[in-house]
Structure 1
Amino acid sequence: MGIRAAIECKIKVLEVYGDSALVIYQLKGEWETRDPKLVDYRKLVLELVKEFEDITFCYLPRNENQMVDALATLASMIKVNKQEDVKPIQMSIYETPAHCYDIEEKEEKDDHPWYHDILQYVKNREYPDQASENDKRTLRRLAIDYVLDGEILYKRRKDQVLLKCVDAVEAKKILKEVHEGICGTHANGFTMARQIMRFGYYWSSMEGDCVNYAKRCHKCQIYGDKIHVPPSLLHVMTSP
Protein backbone atom coordinates (compact mmCIF):
# COMPACT_ATOMS: atom_id res chain seq x y z
CA MET A 1 0.00 0.00 0.00
CA GLY A 2 2.84 2.40 0.74
CA ILE A 3 4.54 1.76 -2.61
CA ARG A 4 1.26 2.25 -4.47
CA ALA A 5 0.67 5.51 -2.60
CA ALA A 6 4.13 6.67 -3.65
CA ILE A 7 3.33 5.83 -7.28
CA GLU A 8 0.12 7.84 -7.11
CA CYS A 9 2.11 10.80 -5.77
CA LYS A 10 4.48 10.42 -8.79
CA ILE A 11 7.53 9.84 -6.60
CA LYS A 12 10.52 8.57 -8.57
CA VAL A 13 13.16 8.13 -5.84
CA LEU A 14 12.09 6.15 -2.80
CA GLU A 15 13.69 4.59 0.28
CA VAL A 16 11.66 1.81 1.86
CA TYR A 17 12.23 0.90 5.53
CA GLY A 18 10.82 -2.26 7.09
CA ASP A 19 11.21 -4.08 10.40
CA SER A 20 10.83 -7.54 8.83
CA ALA A 21 14.27 -8.83 7.91
CA LEU A 22 12.72 -11.70 5.95
CA VAL A 23 10.72 -9.44 3.62
CA ILE A 24 13.43 -6.80 3.16
CA TYR A 25 16.25 -9.22 2.32
CA GLN A 26 14.02 -11.24 0.00
CA LEU A 27 13.10 -8.09 -1.94
CA LYS A 28 16.78 -7.13 -2.14
CA GLY A 29 17.52 -10.58 -3.55
CA GLU A 30 19.94 -11.57 -0.80
CA TRP A 31 17.63 -14.27 0.55
CA GLU A 32 15.80 -16.90 -1.44
CA THR A 33 12.00 -16.82 -1.36
CA ARG A 34 10.58 -20.30 -0.71
CA ASP A 35 7.23 -19.65 0.90
CA PRO A 36 4.51 -19.85 -1.81
CA LYS A 37 2.64 -16.96 -0.18
CA LEU A 38 5.67 -14.69 -0.31
CA VAL A 39 6.54 -15.62 -3.90
CA ASP A 40 3.44 -13.88 -5.26
CA TYR A 41 4.01 -10.98 -2.89
CA ARG A 42 7.58 -10.54 -4.17
CA LYS A 43 6.45 -10.65 -7.80
CA LEU A 44 3.88 -7.93 -7.14
CA VAL A 45 6.41 -5.68 -5.43
CA LEU A 46 8.98 -6.18 -8.23
CA GLU A 47 6.37 -5.11 -10.79
CA LEU A 48 5.66 -1.95 -8.81
CA VAL A 49 9.38 -1.23 -8.43
CA LYS A 50 9.64 -0.63 -12.19
CA GLU A 51 7.70 2.61 -11.78
CA PHE A 52 10.59 4.20 -9.87
CA GLU A 53 13.89 5.52 -11.12
CA ASP A 54 15.68 4.57 -7.93
CA ILE A 55 14.33 2.54 -4.99
CA THR A 56 16.20 1.02 -2.07
CA PHE A 57 15.03 -1.36 0.66
CA CYS A 58 16.52 -0.91 4.13
CA TYR A 59 16.06 -3.10 7.19
CA LEU A 60 15.19 -1.21 10.39
CA PRO A 61 15.03 -3.13 13.71
CA ARG A 62 11.69 -3.01 15.45
CA ASN A 63 13.04 -1.32 18.56
CA GLU A 64 14.33 1.55 16.40
CA ASN A 65 11.12 1.87 14.37
CA GLN A 66 9.44 4.24 16.81
CA MET A 67 8.17 6.65 14.16
CA VAL A 68 5.88 3.98 12.69
CA ASP A 69 4.40 3.28 16.11
CA ALA A 70 3.76 6.98 16.61
CA LEU A 71 2.08 7.32 13.21
CA ALA A 72 -0.05 4.24 13.87
CA THR A 73 -1.17 5.74 17.17
CA LEU A 74 -2.11 9.01 15.46
CA ALA A 75 -3.96 7.15 12.71
CA SER A 76 -6.03 5.23 15.24
CA MET A 77 -7.12 8.50 16.90
CA ILE A 78 -8.35 10.19 13.69
CA LYS A 79 -11.83 9.55 12.29
CA VAL A 80 -11.87 10.11 8.54
CA ASN A 81 -14.98 11.21 6.66
CA LYS A 82 -14.98 9.92 3.11
CA GLN A 83 -16.75 13.03 1.84
CA GLU A 84 -14.05 15.36 3.16
CA ASP A 85 -10.41 15.60 2.26
CA VAL A 86 -7.93 14.44 4.87
CA LYS A 87 -5.67 17.25 5.97
CA PRO A 88 -1.96 16.37 5.96
CA ILE A 89 -0.17 16.00 9.27
CA GLN A 90 2.71 18.43 9.63
CA MET A 91 5.72 16.99 11.40
CA SER A 92 8.97 18.66 12.34
CA ILE A 93 12.22 16.94 13.28
CA TYR A 94 14.63 18.54 15.70
CA GLU A 95 18.33 18.10 15.08
CA THR A 96 19.12 18.05 18.78
CA PRO A 97 17.32 15.62 21.12
CA ALA A 98 14.80 17.00 23.56
CA HIS A 99 15.67 16.82 27.23
CA CYS A 100 13.31 16.09 30.06
CA TYR A 101 13.75 16.69 33.76
CA ASP A 102 13.71 13.69 36.01
CA ILE A 103 11.53 14.72 38.92
CA GLU A 104 12.32 12.68 41.99
CA GLU A 105 9.38 11.82 44.11
CA LYS A 106 9.61 13.34 47.51
CA GLU A 107 9.67 10.86 50.31
CA GLU A 108 6.24 10.63 51.82
CA LYS A 109 5.91 11.25 55.52
CA ASP A 110 2.98 11.02 57.87
CA ASP A 111 3.11 14.23 59.91
CA HIS A 112 0.33 13.14 62.28
CA PRO A 113 0.55 9.35 62.82
CA TRP A 114 -1.92 7.34 64.86
CA TYR A 115 0.42 7.30 67.89
CA HIS A 116 0.97 11.07 67.95
CA ASP A 117 -1.01 11.69 71.15
CA ILE A 118 0.61 8.74 72.92
CA LEU A 119 4.06 9.91 71.88
CA GLN A 120 3.44 13.42 73.18
CA TYR A 121 2.21 12.09 76.51
CA VAL A 122 5.06 9.63 76.99
CA LYS A 123 7.64 12.21 75.91
CA ASN A 124 6.37 15.45 77.46
CA ARG A 125 3.36 14.39 79.58
CA GLU A 126 1.17 16.57 77.38
CA TYR A 127 -2.48 15.98 76.61
CA PRO A 128 -4.21 16.85 73.34
CA ASP A 129 -6.01 20.17 73.09
CA GLN A 130 -9.65 20.15 74.20
CA ALA A 131 -9.26 16.69 75.75
CA SER A 132 -11.83 15.77 78.36
CA GLU A 133 -11.08 14.03 81.65
CA ASN A 134 -12.27 10.77 80.21
CA ASP A 135 -9.93 11.20 77.21
CA LYS A 136 -7.00 11.95 79.51
CA ARG A 137 -7.74 8.90 81.62
CA THR A 138 -7.93 6.70 78.51
CA LEU A 139 -4.67 8.13 77.20
CA ARG A 140 -2.87 7.41 80.49
CA ARG A 141 -4.14 3.84 80.42
CA LEU A 142 -2.96 3.31 76.83
CA ALA A 143 0.44 4.89 77.46
CA ILE A 144 1.31 2.22 80.03
CA ASP A 145 2.02 -0.28 77.23
CA TYR A 146 4.35 2.05 75.28
CA VAL A 147 8.07 2.74 75.74
CA LEU A 148 10.02 5.65 74.25
CA ASP A 149 13.63 5.07 73.18
CA GLY A 150 15.09 8.30 71.81
CA GLU A 151 12.61 9.37 69.13
CA ILE A 152 11.23 5.89 68.47
CA LEU A 153 8.08 4.66 70.20
CA TYR A 154 7.70 0.98 70.98
CA LYS A 155 4.67 -1.09 71.88
CA ARG A 156 5.22 -3.55 74.73
CA ARG A 157 3.54 -6.93 74.22
CA LYS A 158 2.33 -9.18 76.99
CA ASP A 159 5.53 -11.22 76.71
CA GLN A 160 7.56 -7.97 77.18
CA VAL A 161 8.70 -7.96 73.53
CA LEU A 162 9.00 -4.44 72.10
CA LEU A 163 7.43 -3.68 68.71
CA LYS A 164 8.35 -0.55 66.78
CA CYS A 165 5.38 1.73 66.07
CA VAL A 166 5.20 2.76 62.41
CA ASP A 167 3.07 5.35 60.63
CA ALA A 168 0.78 4.86 57.61
CA VAL A 169 3.55 5.35 55.01
CA GLU A 170 5.85 2.77 56.59
CA ALA A 171 2.90 0.42 57.08
CA LYS A 172 2.19 0.39 53.33
CA LYS A 173 5.80 -0.51 52.57
CA ILE A 174 5.79 -3.27 55.17
CA LEU A 175 2.53 -4.72 53.86
CA LYS A 176 3.85 -4.84 50.30
CA GLU A 177 7.17 -6.38 51.29
CA VAL A 178 5.71 -9.03 53.62
CA HIS A 179 2.92 -10.03 51.23
CA GLU A 180 4.57 -9.93 47.80
CA GLY A 181 8.20 -9.00 48.40
CA ILE A 182 11.29 -11.11 47.81
CA CYS A 183 10.39 -13.52 50.61
CA GLY A 184 6.63 -12.90 50.43
CA THR A 185 4.35 -15.93 50.36
CA HIS A 186 1.03 -14.17 49.58
CA ALA A 187 -0.32 -15.26 52.95
CA ASN A 188 -3.78 -14.33 54.22
CA GLY A 189 -4.40 -11.30 56.40
CA PHE A 190 -4.17 -12.94 59.82
CA THR A 191 -0.95 -14.76 58.93
CA MET A 192 0.52 -11.51 57.63
CA ALA A 193 -0.28 -9.74 60.90
CA ARG A 194 1.52 -12.42 62.89
CA GLN A 195 4.52 -12.27 60.55
CA ILE A 196 4.75 -8.48 60.86
CA MET A 197 4.67 -8.72 64.65
CA ARG A 198 7.42 -11.32 64.54
CA PHE A 199 9.46 -8.89 62.45
CA GLY A 200 9.05 -6.32 65.24
CA TYR A 201 6.53 -3.79 63.84
CA TYR A 202 3.15 -2.64 65.07
CA TRP A 203 0.34 -0.20 64.27
CA SER A 204 -3.16 0.04 65.67
CA SER A 205 -5.11 -1.14 62.57
CA MET A 206 -2.57 -3.75 61.50
CA GLU A 207 -4.85 -6.81 61.39
CA GLY A 208 -7.61 -5.07 59.43
CA ASP A 209 -5.11 -3.55 56.98
CA CYS A 210 -3.55 -6.96 56.38
CA VAL A 211 -6.91 -8.55 55.64
CA ASN A 212 -7.89 -5.77 53.23
CA TYR A 213 -4.50 -5.88 51.48
CA ALA A 214 -4.76 -9.63 50.93
CA LYS A 215 -8.28 -9.22 49.51
CA ARG A 216 -7.10 -6.59 47.01
CA CYS A 217 -4.07 -8.59 45.83
CA HIS A 218 -4.59 -9.42 42.14
CA LYS A 219 -2.41 -12.53 42.12
CA CYS A 220 -4.17 -13.93 45.18
CA GLN A 221 -7.52 -13.55 43.44
CA ILE A 222 -6.30 -15.33 40.29
CA TYR A 223 -4.16 -18.14 41.68
CA GLY A 224 -5.81 -18.61 45.09
CA ASP A 225 -7.80 -21.66 46.02
CA LYS A 226 -11.47 -21.55 45.06
CA ILE A 227 -13.10 -21.76 48.47
CA HIS A 228 -16.64 -21.11 47.21
CA VAL A 229 -16.89 -24.16 44.92
CA PRO A 230 -19.52 -26.75 45.83
CA PRO A 231 -18.20 -29.61 47.96
CA SER A 232 -17.34 -32.84 46.19
CA LEU A 233 -18.69 -36.17 47.29
CA LEU A 234 -16.48 -38.37 49.44
CA HIS A 235 -16.01 -41.93 48.23
CA VAL A 236 -15.53 -44.56 50.90
CA MET A 237 -12.57 -46.85 50.22
CA THR A 238 -12.67 -50.28 51.86
CA SER A 239 -9.44 -51.88 52.90
CA PRO A 240 -8.58 -55.10 51.04
Structure 2
Amino acid sequence: MKSGLGAGIVLTSPKCDQLKYVLQIHFAASNNVAKYEALVNGLKMAKEIGVRQIQCFDDSDLVVQQASGNWDALDANMALYRFHVQKISGHFEGCEFHNIPRAENEAADTLSKLGSTRQAIPAGVALEHLRKPSIKPSPESESIFIPASSEADVVPMDIDSGSGSGNPGTERLNSAEAMAVEPMEIDIPDESIFTTHPMPAWAQPIMSYLKDRSLPEEEVSARQIQRRAKAYTIINGELYKRSVTNVLQRCVEPEEGQEILLDIHQGECGDHASSRTLVGKAFRHGFYWPSALQEAEDIVMKCNGYQRYASKIHMPASELKTIPITWSFAIWCLDMVGPFKWA
Protein backbone atom coordinates (compact mmCIF):
# COMPACT_ATOMS: atom_id res chain seq x y z
CA MET A 1 0.00 0.00 0.00
CA LYS A 2 1.44 3.37 -1.04
CA SER A 3 1.53 6.16 1.52
CA GLY A 4 2.05 9.90 1.25
CA LEU A 5 0.43 13.15 2.27
CA GLY A 6 -3.26 13.83 1.91
CA ALA A 7 -6.05 16.13 3.01
CA GLY A 8 -9.84 16.05 3.09
CA ILE A 9 -12.42 18.76 2.44
CA VAL A 10 -16.14 18.66 3.24
CA LEU A 11 -18.37 21.51 2.02
CA THR A 12 -21.72 21.53 3.84
CA SER A 13 -24.62 23.74 2.76
CA PRO A 14 -27.22 25.22 5.16
CA LYS A 15 -29.51 22.38 4.09
CA CYS A 16 -26.85 19.82 5.15
CA ASP A 17 -25.99 18.87 1.54
CA GLN A 18 -22.34 17.85 1.37
CA LEU A 19 -19.61 17.89 -1.27
CA LYS A 20 -16.56 15.80 -0.40
CA TYR A 21 -13.07 16.18 -1.82
CA VAL A 22 -9.84 14.23 -1.41
CA LEU A 23 -6.46 15.89 -1.97
CA GLN A 24 -3.46 13.71 -2.82
CA ILE A 25 -0.33 15.77 -2.16
CA HIS A 26 2.65 14.61 -4.21
CA PHE A 27 5.38 16.67 -2.54
CA ALA A 28 7.03 16.35 0.85
CA ALA A 29 5.64 18.78 3.41
CA SER A 30 4.68 19.09 7.05
CA ASN A 31 1.23 18.45 8.48
CA ASN A 32 0.63 22.20 8.85
CA VAL A 33 1.22 22.61 5.11
CA ALA A 34 -1.36 19.90 4.41
CA LYS A 35 -3.86 21.69 6.66
CA TYR A 36 -3.23 24.98 4.86
CA GLU A 37 -3.59 23.30 1.44
CA ALA A 38 -6.95 21.90 2.51
CA LEU A 39 -8.06 25.36 3.68
CA VAL A 40 -6.84 27.12 0.52
CA ASN A 41 -8.41 24.61 -1.86
CA GLY A 42 -11.63 24.52 0.16
CA LEU A 43 -11.95 28.32 -0.07
CA LYS A 44 -11.25 28.22 -3.80
CA MET A 45 -13.90 25.55 -4.36
CA ALA A 46 -16.44 27.53 -2.33
CA LYS A 47 -15.62 30.64 -4.36
CA GLU A 48 -16.03 28.76 -7.64
CA ILE A 49 -19.53 27.52 -6.78
CA GLY A 50 -20.68 31.01 -5.72
CA VAL A 51 -20.59 30.81 -1.93
CA ARG A 52 -20.87 34.28 -0.34
CA GLN A 53 -20.57 33.53 3.37
CA ILE A 54 -18.54 30.66 4.76
CA GLN A 55 -17.44 29.24 8.10
CA CYS A 56 -14.23 27.19 8.10
CA PHE A 57 -13.75 24.50 10.76
CA ASP A 58 -10.41 22.78 11.37
CA ASP A 59 -8.85 20.73 14.15
CA SER A 60 -5.48 22.51 13.73
CA ASP A 61 -5.38 25.35 16.25
CA LEU A 62 -2.25 26.82 14.64
CA VAL A 63 -3.84 27.17 11.19
CA VAL A 64 -7.07 28.60 12.59
CA GLN A 65 -5.37 31.15 14.84
CA GLN A 66 -2.96 32.27 12.11
CA ALA A 67 -5.70 32.57 9.49
CA SER A 68 -7.81 34.59 11.95
CA GLY A 69 -4.88 36.94 12.60
CA ASN A 70 -4.63 36.09 16.30
CA TRP A 71 -1.23 34.40 16.05
CA ASP A 72 1.91 35.47 14.23
CA ALA A 73 3.55 33.22 11.64
CA LEU A 74 7.22 32.65 12.45
CA ASP A 75 7.85 30.20 9.60
CA ALA A 76 8.28 31.81 6.17
CA ASN A 77 6.01 29.33 4.39
CA MET A 78 3.33 29.66 7.06
CA ALA A 79 3.41 33.44 6.59
CA LEU A 80 2.94 33.03 2.83
CA TYR A 81 0.03 30.64 3.35
CA ARG A 82 -1.57 33.09 5.82
CA PHE A 83 -1.35 35.94 3.29
CA HIS A 84 -2.75 33.62 0.60
CA VAL A 85 -5.73 32.69 2.79
CA GLN A 86 -6.41 36.34 3.62
CA LYS A 87 -6.43 37.19 -0.08
CA ILE A 88 -8.93 34.46 -0.93
CA SER A 89 -11.16 35.15 2.08
CA GLY A 90 -11.50 38.77 0.91
CA HIS A 91 -13.70 37.59 -1.96
CA PHE A 92 -16.42 36.47 0.48
CA GLU A 93 -18.95 38.72 2.17
CA GLY A 94 -18.26 36.87 5.42
CA CYS A 95 -15.52 34.39 6.33
CA GLU A 96 -14.88 32.97 9.81
CA PHE A 97 -12.38 30.42 11.09
CA HIS A 98 -13.18 28.12 14.01
CA ASN A 99 -11.19 25.44 15.80
CA ILE A 100 -12.95 22.17 16.63
CA PRO A 101 -11.81 18.99 18.41
CA ARG A 102 -10.41 16.20 16.28
CA ALA A 103 -13.32 13.95 17.24
CA GLU A 104 -15.75 16.35 15.57
CA ASN A 105 -13.72 16.38 12.35
CA GLU A 106 -14.02 12.67 11.53
CA ALA A 107 -15.48 13.20 8.03
CA ALA A 108 -12.53 15.26 6.81
CA ASP A 109 -10.09 13.02 8.67
CA THR A 110 -11.42 9.95 6.87
CA LEU A 111 -11.00 11.65 3.50
CA SER A 112 -7.49 12.70 4.49
CA LYS A 113 -6.56 9.08 5.22
CA LEU A 114 -7.87 8.06 1.80
CA GLY A 115 -5.60 10.63 0.21
CA SER A 116 -2.51 9.77 2.23
CA THR A 117 -2.83 5.98 1.80
CA ARG A 118 -3.68 6.31 -1.93
CA GLN A 119 -6.68 4.03 -1.56
CA ALA A 120 -9.55 3.79 -4.05
CA ILE A 121 -11.85 6.79 -3.92
CA PRO A 122 -15.56 6.04 -3.33
CA ALA A 123 -18.17 7.18 -5.80
CA GLY A 124 -19.46 10.71 -5.36
CA VAL A 125 -16.13 11.97 -3.96
CA ALA A 126 -13.94 14.36 -5.93
CA LEU A 127 -10.20 13.67 -6.28
CA GLU A 128 -7.49 16.26 -6.87
CA HIS A 129 -3.77 15.71 -7.31
CA LEU A 130 -1.52 18.46 -5.94
CA ARG A 131 1.97 18.24 -7.43
CA LYS A 132 2.98 21.78 -6.47
CA PRO A 133 2.04 23.86 -3.42
CA SER A 134 -0.30 26.82 -3.67
CA ILE A 135 2.58 29.16 -2.82
CA LYS A 136 6.15 29.50 -3.97
CA PRO A 137 8.14 27.87 -1.14
CA SER A 138 10.65 30.03 0.68
CA PRO A 139 14.27 28.79 0.77
CA GLU A 140 14.45 29.81 4.44
CA SER A 141 11.88 27.20 5.48
CA GLU A 142 12.14 23.40 5.42
CA SER A 143 8.40 22.73 5.75
CA ILE A 144 8.05 22.09 1.98
CA PHE A 145 10.29 20.00 -0.29
CA ILE A 146 9.49 19.43 -3.96
CA PRO A 147 11.41 16.62 -5.69
CA ALA A 148 12.74 17.13 -9.21
CA SER A 149 10.25 14.64 -10.66
CA SER A 150 7.26 16.67 -9.40
CA GLU A 151 7.88 19.86 -11.36
CA ALA A 152 4.94 19.21 -13.74
CA ASP A 153 1.86 21.36 -13.69
CA VAL A 154 -1.02 20.62 -11.37
CA VAL A 155 -3.44 18.01 -12.64
CA PRO A 156 -7.01 19.39 -12.72
CA MET A 157 -9.38 17.85 -10.22
CA ASP A 158 -11.34 14.91 -11.56
CA ILE A 159 -14.71 13.75 -10.31
CA ASP A 160 -15.16 10.02 -9.88
CA SER A 161 -18.41 8.86 -11.45
CA GLY A 162 -18.27 5.38 -9.95
CA SER A 163 -17.11 3.58 -13.12
CA GLY A 164 -14.68 0.72 -12.84
CA SER A 165 -12.22 2.25 -15.33
CA GLY A 166 -11.41 5.22 -13.12
CA ASN A 167 -11.11 3.48 -9.76
CA PRO A 168 -11.21 -0.34 -9.77
CA GLY A 169 -12.23 -0.59 -6.13
CA THR A 170 -15.17 1.78 -6.20
CA GLU A 171 -18.80 0.77 -6.07
CA ARG A 172 -21.40 1.97 -8.54
CA LEU A 173 -24.38 3.75 -7.02
CA ASN A 174 -27.85 4.19 -8.47
CA SER A 175 -28.72 7.55 -10.02
CA ALA A 176 -31.07 8.31 -7.16
CA GLU A 177 -28.38 7.56 -4.58
CA ALA A 178 -25.43 9.16 -6.30
CA MET A 179 -24.74 12.76 -5.46
CA ALA A 180 -24.74 15.07 -8.45
CA VAL A 181 -21.35 16.75 -8.65
CA GLU A 182 -20.32 18.95 -11.57
CA PRO A 183 -16.63 18.95 -12.58
CA MET A 184 -14.70 22.11 -11.75
CA GLU A 185 -11.21 23.18 -12.66
CA ILE A 186 -8.92 24.69 -10.06
CA ASP A 187 -5.81 26.54 -11.19
CA ILE A 188 -2.99 26.42 -8.65
CA PRO A 189 -1.51 28.91 -8.03
CA ASP A 190 -4.11 31.54 -8.92
CA GLU A 191 -2.11 34.54 -10.10
CA SER A 192 -5.12 36.87 -9.87
CA ILE A 193 -5.34 36.20 -6.14
CA PHE A 194 -1.71 35.80 -5.09
CA THR A 195 -0.07 38.88 -6.59
CA THR A 196 3.31 40.49 -6.07
CA HIS A 197 3.37 43.98 -4.59
CA PRO A 198 5.67 46.70 -5.97
CA MET A 199 8.91 47.39 -4.16
CA PRO A 200 8.76 50.53 -1.94
CA ALA A 201 11.15 53.32 -2.87
CA TRP A 202 12.68 53.51 0.61
CA ALA A 203 13.57 49.79 0.48
CA GLN A 204 15.32 49.85 -2.91
CA PRO A 205 18.87 50.28 -1.48
CA ILE A 206 18.38 47.35 0.93
CA MET A 207 16.91 45.21 -1.85
CA SER A 208 19.85 46.01 -4.14
CA TYR A 209 22.33 45.11 -1.41
CA LEU A 210 20.65 41.76 -0.66
CA LYS A 211 20.44 40.85 -4.36
CA ASP A 212 23.62 42.22 -5.92
CA ARG A 213 25.65 43.42 -2.90
CA SER A 214 25.61 46.91 -4.39
CA LEU A 215 26.16 49.85 -2.02
CA PRO A 216 26.11 53.64 -2.49
CA GLU A 217 29.38 55.49 -2.79
CA GLU A 218 28.86 57.46 0.43
CA GLU A 219 30.57 55.60 3.26
CA VAL A 220 28.06 56.50 5.99
CA SER A 221 25.06 55.42 3.92
CA ALA A 222 26.79 52.20 2.91
CA ARG A 223 27.44 51.28 6.56
CA GLN A 224 23.83 52.02 7.49
CA ILE A 225 22.52 49.77 4.71
CA GLN A 226 24.88 46.94 5.69
CA ARG A 227 23.78 47.17 9.31
CA ARG A 228 20.05 47.40 8.59
CA ALA A 229 20.03 44.68 5.91
CA LYS A 230 20.65 42.01 8.55
CA ALA A 231 16.99 42.24 9.62
CA TYR A 232 15.57 41.90 6.10
CA THR A 233 14.97 38.91 3.81
CA ILE A 234 13.55 38.32 0.32
CA ILE A 235 10.55 35.99 -0.11
CA ASN A 236 8.99 35.50 -3.56
CA GLY A 237 10.64 38.67 -4.82
CA GLU A 238 9.24 40.80 -1.97
CA LEU A 239 11.19 42.35 0.89
CA TYR A 240 10.27 41.36 4.44
CA LYS A 241 11.60 42.63 7.75
CA ARG A 242 12.03 40.26 10.65
CA SER A 243 11.03 41.93 13.93
CA VAL A 244 12.59 41.32 17.33
CA THR A 245 9.88 38.70 17.96
CA ASN A 246 10.70 36.97 14.61
CA VAL A 247 7.49 38.20 12.92
CA LEU A 248 7.84 38.61 9.14
CA GLN A 249 6.63 42.09 8.14
CA ARG A 250 6.09 42.98 4.49
CA CYS A 251 7.66 46.29 3.48
CA VAL A 252 5.03 48.69 2.11
CA GLU A 253 4.91 52.21 0.70
CA PRO A 254 4.04 55.06 3.09
CA GLU A 255 0.79 55.66 1.14
CA GLU A 256 -0.32 52.07 1.71
CA GLY A 257 0.79 52.33 5.32
CA GLN A 258 -1.41 55.39 5.85
CA GLU A 259 -4.43 53.47 4.56
CA ILE A 260 -3.64 50.65 7.00
CA LEU A 261 -3.37 53.08 9.92
CA LEU A 262 -6.62 54.83 8.98
CA ASP A 263 -8.43 51.50 8.77
CA ILE A 264 -7.15 50.50 12.20
CA HIS A 265 -7.82 53.91 13.74
CA GLN A 266 -11.27 54.77 12.40
CA GLY A 267 -12.40 51.78 10.32
CA GLU A 268 -15.27 49.42 11.05
CA CYS A 269 -13.52 48.12 14.19
CA GLY A 270 -11.53 51.28 14.93
CA ASP A 271 -11.22 52.40 18.54
CA HIS A 272 -9.41 55.74 17.98
CA ALA A 273 -6.30 54.46 19.72
CA SER A 274 -3.09 56.41 20.31
CA SER A 275 -0.25 56.58 17.82
CA ARG A 276 1.99 53.92 19.36
CA THR A 277 -0.93 51.52 19.68
CA LEU A 278 -1.77 51.99 15.99
CA VAL A 279 1.80 51.29 14.92
CA GLY A 280 1.99 48.21 17.14
CA LYS A 281 -1.18 46.73 15.63
CA ALA A 282 0.03 47.39 12.07
CA PHE A 283 3.41 45.76 12.76
CA ARG A 284 1.84 42.73 14.45
CA HIS A 285 -0.36 42.17 11.38
CA GLY A 286 2.75 41.87 9.19
CA PHE A 287 3.39 45.33 7.70
CA TYR A 288 6.39 47.64 8.08
CA TRP A 289 7.56 51.06 6.87
CA PRO A 290 10.03 53.36 8.67
CA SER A 291 7.81 56.46 8.93
CA ALA A 292 4.90 54.64 10.59
CA LEU A 293 5.10 56.38 14.00
CA GLN A 294 5.25 59.89 12.55
CA GLU A 295 2.29 59.22 10.24
CA ALA A 296 0.32 57.70 13.11
CA GLU A 297 0.91 60.83 15.20
CA ASP A 298 -0.35 63.01 12.34
CA ILE A 299 -3.50 60.88 12.04
CA VAL A 300 -4.18 61.13 15.76
CA MET A 301 -3.58 64.90 15.81
CA LYS A 302 -6.02 65.44 12.92
CA CYS A 303 -8.71 63.08 14.19
CA ASN A 304 -11.90 65.05 14.88
CA GLY A 305 -13.16 62.76 17.62
CA TYR A 306 -9.78 62.56 19.28
CA GLN A 307 -9.42 66.36 19.41
CA ARG A 308 -13.01 66.87 20.51
CA TYR A 309 -12.79 64.75 23.66
CA ALA A 310 -9.08 64.48 24.46
CA SER A 311 -8.80 68.01 25.90
CA LYS A 312 -11.72 67.67 28.34
CA ILE A 313 -10.72 68.35 31.95
CA HIS A 314 -12.03 65.66 34.24
CA MET A 315 -10.89 67.25 37.51
CA PRO A 316 -13.53 68.85 39.80
CA ALA A 317 -13.89 72.64 39.62
CA SER A 318 -13.39 73.07 43.36
CA GLU A 319 -11.99 71.13 46.25
CA LEU A 320 -14.16 68.25 47.38
CA LYS A 321 -15.85 68.65 50.76
CA THR A 322 -17.13 65.99 53.12
CA ILE A 323 -20.91 66.15 53.57
CA PRO A 324 -21.97 65.61 57.22
CA ILE A 325 -24.96 63.51 58.18
CA THR A 326 -27.04 66.58 59.20
CA TRP A 327 -26.48 68.34 55.89
CA SER A 328 -29.86 67.40 54.46
CA PHE A 329 -31.68 68.77 57.54
CA ALA A 330 -29.72 72.01 57.53
CA ILE A 331 -30.02 72.81 53.81
CA TRP A 332 -33.27 71.29 52.63
CA CYS A 333 -35.10 71.41 55.98
CA LEU A 334 -36.05 67.79 55.74
CA ASP A 335 -37.85 66.38 58.74
CA MET A 336 -37.95 62.64 58.18
CA VAL A 337 -38.11 61.70 61.86
CA GLY A 338 -41.05 63.79 62.94
CA PRO A 339 -41.57 65.61 66.25
CA PHE A 340 -39.74 64.17 69.26
CA LYS A 341 -41.92 62.93 72.10
CA TRP A 342 -41.46 64.12 75.65
CA ALA A 343 -39.69 61.71 77.92
TM-score by length of 1: 0.47
Q: Which of the pair is proportionally richer in strand?
A: 2
TM-score by length of 2: 0.34
Q: Which of the pair is proportionally richer in helix?
A: 1
- Larger RCO (alpha carbons 8 Å, 6+ apart): 2
Q: Which has the larger radius of gyration?
A: 1
